[in-house]
Amino acid sequence: MKNSQLQKINSAEPERYGSPASIADLTAYRCQLQCAEKEEKLQTSLEELEHLKSALDKTAIVAIANEKGIINYVNDKFCEISGYYKEELIGQNYNLLNSAYHPQEFFEDLWLTISSGKVWQGEIRDRKKNGSYYWVNTTIVPFLDENNKPWQYLSIQFEITKRKEAEIALIENLNRYQNLVNSSPEGVFITDSKGQFIEANKRWYEMTGISLEEAQKKGWASSIHPEDRGQVLADWYLAIWKKLPFYSCEYRLQSPEGEITSVFSRTLAEINANGKLVGYVGTITDISDRKQVEEKLRLNAWYDPLTGLPNRELFLQRVKSALSEANNFGKMFAVLFLDLNRFKVINDSLGHLVGDRLLCEVANRLNEVISKKEFVARLGADQFLILLEKVDSLNAVLQVANRIQKQLAQPLYLEENQIFTGASIGIVLCGSQKQAIQETGVNSAQKIGKNVENKTIFPHSVLPNPITYHEKPEEILRAAHTAMYRAKDLGGNSRYVIFNPQMHERAVALLNTENDLRRAVKTCEEFVLHYQPIISNETGKICGFEALVRWQHPTKGFISPGEFISLAEE
């Protein structure tokens, strides 16, 4: 009501309206009229919304979920289509309806869209309570709070199952039989665009061992080996989702009788005249013979053919992994280098057949004495390697060495011969570069093969710090080999020695001396003869001379005979 109208009420017709109204009364009256108008408009809006909701409920599947995807409202249409009661849906995650048709990336993209406050639209295949599936055209609208963050989501879906089934029906017979080549040596099969089995040729049924009815009921993937099925299906559906025109992989088939066949599978997408994907044509080729050859080559490449133990290359790979873990996590490990004693004598006297049997028996004994976290390999000839990962004490390493020595000390009975053997063992304890820097403040890359004086993480050890730091697995093997030969030099049938850098320095110095000696012998310019007279005890006169050779090295100066005579004799 306008102010002019209120003025008329106030003064123009006093006989009708009574005495003039006060300003306060008029203001209150005007407020009452405005409230009445607003209530009328609100009621009209609520009625319109109720009509819209009623119309939406009759045609659409409506649900509301919180920011975590937990359902807190569904309409009757939702229950009608899904087969669930409201009580079964409220408080549940949308995963309850997941049909496993869409890949994980599909839902990651969906959540990325709506969690950023954007509307998502797409088609989803859901699973009913009874296990059957239905398709819905879905729109998800996020509701945002004052911080522009979603606090709940409104999902409006329209069922499109019949349309989807009609689409499938239209493409079922398209190019089906023209692509089946029953005379092909390869198995050929056809699926629809979702990977559901349609038909196959005779060879495919022979290779898989299942019938058409079983394939249609259980799906073509039911013929895949259980250990391979999950990965194959994941790759398959990912290729479908990405709409890749071509897909290939290798996997194993397992027939109902348990027969296993390795196959190479190739799948080609079928595209109609409108450029739409209508299905897939797949082929499987028997590659069992090739796989057997590959497996044999793999075993030859990574395993010792005589003992069946891992070989040097595989051992180095494991050491490389242990070295990486040591550098990343500060874990220590140890490498043991074993060389059998008296093997050459046994091999030469009793023959190579007995020698081979001895090596196999030693391999068996080593496998018996080591634990699951220890790794044994054969280097070659009569030499074996053991990797001890995650070492926490020097005593634990020495216990393993003692167990090995005790096991190998037991007599062997081969070809009616009682054989005794033992092993010289070189041990390398390996730490990380990080530990080296923490203990010395120096990057261990500058001190490869160096150990830290007066520092040890084995506080109960009576030895100097036995831990060394290396960058390459080959360096560790070389150090263990050096320690093993030191054990042999010390003598005894069963002895172990822990590597220290001085051993390597001694070995290098010995090699350099040997090389210098060979050069000196060739030139004959560095040796000097000294004659020492021989005096007769009876006459006191010179009765002869003893010729003594001395080596005058051009850079090292005088070298004592004790340092080179033994090398010269070798």
Homologous superfamily, domain 184-291 = PAS domain (3.30.450.20)
Give the mean pLDDT of 280-300: 87
Looking at domain 60-157, what is its CATH homologous superfamily? Answer: PAS domain (3.30.450.20)
Whole-number pLDDT of residue 474? 92
What pLDDT score does 509 carry? 66
Residues 6+ apart with CB under 8 A from 339: 382, 383, 423, 424, 425, 484, 488
Q: What is the pLDDT of residue 386?
A: 95
287 pLDDT higher than 70: yes
Element (H, E) at 39: helix 23-59
- Taking residues 425-440, report their average pLDDT: 68
Instruction: Give phi and psi for 512, each to the nearest 5.
Output: -65, -40
CA pair distance 230, 550, nearest whole angstrom: 77
C-alpha separations of 488 from 157, 312, 316, 386, 499 in Å:
81, 22, 24, 18, 13
Average pLDDT over every residue of 356-362: 92
What does the pLDDT read at residue 129? 94
CATH class, domain 307-438+464-499, is alpha beta
Whether residue 248 has pLDDT greater than 60: yes
Express each pLDDT in 471-495 by its tens digit: 889 999 999 998 898 888 887 667 8
Q: How confident is the model at residue 455, as a pLDDT?
A: 39
Q: What band does 456 get if pLDDT is binned at 50, 70 and 90? A: very low
- Residue 446 binned pLDDT confidence (cut-offs 50, 70, 90): very low
What is the mean pLDDT of the segment spanning 534-550? 82
CA dist., res. 563 & res. 552, Å (int): 12
In this prediction the pTM is 0.49
CA-based R_g, the chain, Å: 43
Q: How confident is the model at residue 18 (pLDDT cuts 50, 70, 90)?
A: very low
**Helix, coil or strand: residue 548:** strand
Contact between residue 57 and residue 77 where contact means Cβ atoms under 8 Å apart = yes
